[in-house]
Amino acid sequence: MLRIFVRTALSLRYRIRVSGIEDVARRGREGILFLPNHPALIDPVIVTTVLHRHFAPHPLADKDQIDRPGIRWFARQVGVRPVLDMARYGSGARDQVQAVVRSCAEGLRAGENILLYPSGHLYRSRFEDLRGNSAVESILKLAPEARVVLVRTRGLWGSSFSFAGGEVPDFGRTLRRHIFTLLKNFIFFTPRRDVSVELFEPEDLPRDAGRRAINEYLERFYNEDAPPNRYVPYSLWE
C-alpha cells in the first residue's frame, strides 16, 4: 500500500521509465547489492519505490537526513539502515560505519538485498564522484558471492532536489514547495520531469582489483553520456 501511494505521488511530477529490472529478477531476487548514483535528494525515494516490489532492499542512508518528521516514519517502513556521515563526524563515526558494513555483508550472505549509494553524497556537478570511498570494496570482501547490480538514474540533475543551483537543497522545504506547486496546477496538470532508472548487472566488475579500480568502473558507468542541467517548468503558465 505504501509503495502504491508513493509511486502515485511521484507520478504527479515525474514520468519514470525503468529498464533492466526484469532481467535482474529472472536471475534471482536475493543476495543483491544495488549500487545507484545520487544526482538528487529525491532519487532514493524513486529508486526504493522502483525496486521494492521485486527486491525489497534495505537502503543505507545518512542518519541525520532521515531523522526528521515524516522521513523517519518512511525510513522505518522500508527498513533503512542508518549510517553516520564520516565527513561530518570524522573518525568518531568509524566504528559505527564499520558495524553497518559488517551488517550489510551478513545480510547479503543471508539472502537480503542491500541498497548502497557508493559516493555517500549528493552530486556536486553533473558527474558522479566517488572520491576514495571504500564501502563497496569492504562489503564485497566480506560477501564475495553477492550479486552486484548498478542503478543509473537520469533526468534529475537540474531539479530543485539537486545541487545544480549551487546550494545543498533542503528536502523538507523543497517537498513543501512541490506540494504547493501541485495544488497550484490542480494536482494532475503539473508539468512532468522525465526520469529514467536503468539496472545493469555487470560481468566484468573488478571486484578483487581494489578500491580505486572498483570506483573508476562505477564512475564510468554512472557518467557515460551524463545529461546536462535541465529545467522543467513548475507551472503550465511558465
Q: What is the pLDDT of residues 176-186, one digit of tens each?
A: 888 988 898 88
pLDDT at 1 over 80: no
Per-residue confidence at 85, pLDDT binned at 50, 70, 90?
confident
168 within a domain of the structure (yes/no):
yes
User: From residue 3, how far is each of 28, 45, 46, 52 by CA, in Å?
Assistant: 21, 10, 10, 7
Q: What is the pLDDT of residue 163?
A: 94
In a domain, 233, yes or no: no
Which DSSP category does 79 fall into?
T
139 contacts: CB under 8 Å, gap ≥ 6: 33, 101, 104, 105, 108, 114, 116, 146
101-121 residue pLDDT tens: 999 999 999 999 999 999 988
Residue 7 vs residues 16, 46, 103, 150: alpha-carbon distances, Å: 10, 8, 29, 21
Instruction: Name the residue range of residue 36's domain.
Output: 2-223
Residue 81 lies in a domain: yes
Which pTM does this prediction carry?
0.93
Residue 10's SS3 state is: helix
pLDDT at site 236: 79
What does the DSSP 8-state code read for residue 63?
H
pLDDT in tens, 23-47: 999 999 999 999 999 999 999 999 9
Residue 2 has pLDDT above 80, yes or no: no
Are 204 and 213 in contact by the 8 Å Cβ rule? The answer is: no
- Is residue 238 situated within a structural domain? no
In a domain, 235, yes or no: no
User: Is 231 a member of any domain?
Assistant: no
First to last CA, the chain: 35
Pairing of strands 147-154, 193-200: antiparallel
Looking at the chain, the whole-number percentage of residues with pLDDT higher than 90 is 68
Is 140 a domain residue? yes
Cell of 187: 494536482
* Average per-residue pLDDT for the chain: 92
Q: How far apart are CA 32 and CA 211, in angstroms?
A: 19
Write the CATH number for 169: 3.40.1130.10
Q: Structural domain tally of the chain?
A: 1
CB 42 within 8 Å of CB 159: yes
Residues 6 or more apart in contact with residue 106 via CB below 8 angstroms: 142, 143
66: left (phi over 0), alpha (psi -120 to 50) or beta: alpha
Residue 218 lies in a domain: yes
Residue 73 pLDDT > 90, yes or no? no
Among candidate residues 117, 115, 194, the one with its CA nearest the CA of residue 157: 194
